[in-house]
Structure 1
């Protein structure tokens, strides 16, 4: 289980969330597996996977974004804006990104590519991994078979919330892109962490 969770956190499209729920449900219904082991494996896999994803993003991400980004509308100004957002709000992005399936696969890579400070990333990643993996495992274990009845509506609810949050963030960035880019450029003059060097 820990390996699948780790690989998903590194960016591979795997069903880590479903695996955590299934493992915890197996513990609750059969008592043949320790819930403590499931929690430790899931949390450790989540934290380790994101750290590996961060390192990959840090080593290769910026170069790839600079090379191929313009083909997808990622101009140098937008790249600077991304770094600015990760520097100012990266902790929240990393923590809450853990709970959104698509973002969960890419947030560590993006944090590394945008050179988010590692100590900030590590803290929010560990807290997010603990709450996400531990929360799903403990919640499923305590609810037992009831989780199967709740998972559909709850999943739909989370999906709707994720779409609203991502859509709202996209609209906010689109409407405020020029102002935020100007802020980022002023900040880059004062802060070396925002300067993009290949």
Structure 2
């Protein structure tokens, strides 16, 4: 991600955030953190990073809203599986939106899975666009503010932080794999015992 942001600069940050905001799973938060970390180390301007990310988030979500409003539920059910928006997941997100409305538009920015489909679901459920735009802008401002501040404060230490986190991720992945292997082995062993017991009875 650091290499990508270094190569494409502000356009890289805007592109990733924009794509994520209208429904395509992408590492938007990571892009903002990486761009802000570069700003903290003197390579970018933090205000430009924040403004670019904010505009990309609001415009991307607005496009998602139009897709949901024009295409409706049939479009989501037909093509949603390509961006991990299954009918079951859509119904769950739609339920949140129907019950909470504007609050979900703001909170969804910080929730993986809700963030990507925020605009689409708001459009499908018929939330007025002016209302959606206001709350979406507020959510985007808070989201960008939090992650750009975190990245900026990390500054030159971002690579060291990423390296340390990656080691913990690797260790966690190894533990999970070993746990799964142990679970499968125990399950097979139990099945063999059950099969052997049935053969002895017969």
TM-score bracket, normalised by the shorter chain, equals 0.5 to 0.7
Q: Which runs of 5+ in 1 are unaligned?
A: 157-198
What CA distance in whole angstroms lies between the structure 1 residues aligned with 2:60 and 2:106?
14
Partner residue in 1 for 2:117: 106
- Maintained 8 Å contact 1:86/1:116: no
Larger radius of gyration: 2
Q: How is 1:137-152 mapped onto 2 (pairs within 5 angstroms)?
A: 137-145=148-156, 152=165
* Match for residue 10 of structure 1 among 22, 25, 28: 22
Q: Relative to 1, partners in 2 of residues 1:65 and 1:49: Cα closer, same or farther, differing over 3 Å?
A: closer
| Alignment length (residue pairs) | 147
Q: Does 1:28 align with 2:40?
A: yes
State the SS of the aligned residue for 1:20: helix
Please report the TM-score for the alignment, with normalisation by the length of structure 1: 0.63
Tell me how far 1:4 sits from its aligned partner. Answer: 1.6
* Match for residue 57 of structure 1 among 68, 79, 85: 68
Partner residue in 2 for 1:39: 50
Tell me how far 1:121 sits from its aligned partner. Answer: 1.0
Q: Relative to 1, partners in 2 of residues 1:84 and 1:32: Cα closer, same or farther, differing over 3 Å?
A: closer
Q: Does 1:125 align with 2:105?
A: no
Tell me how far 1:32 sits from its aligned partner. Answer: 2.3
What CA distance in whole angstroms lies between the structure 1 residues aligned with 2:78 and 2:40?
49
Q: Does 1:136 align with 2:152?
A: no
Partner residue in 2 for 1:95: 106
Q: Which runs of 5+ in 2 are unaligned?
A: 1-12, 81-85, 170-202
- Maintained 8 Å contact 2:35/2:151: no
What CA distance in whole angstroms lies between the structure 1 residues aligned with 2:157 and 2:37?
10
What CA distance in whole angstroms lies between the structure 2 residues aligned with 1:84 and 1:101?
16
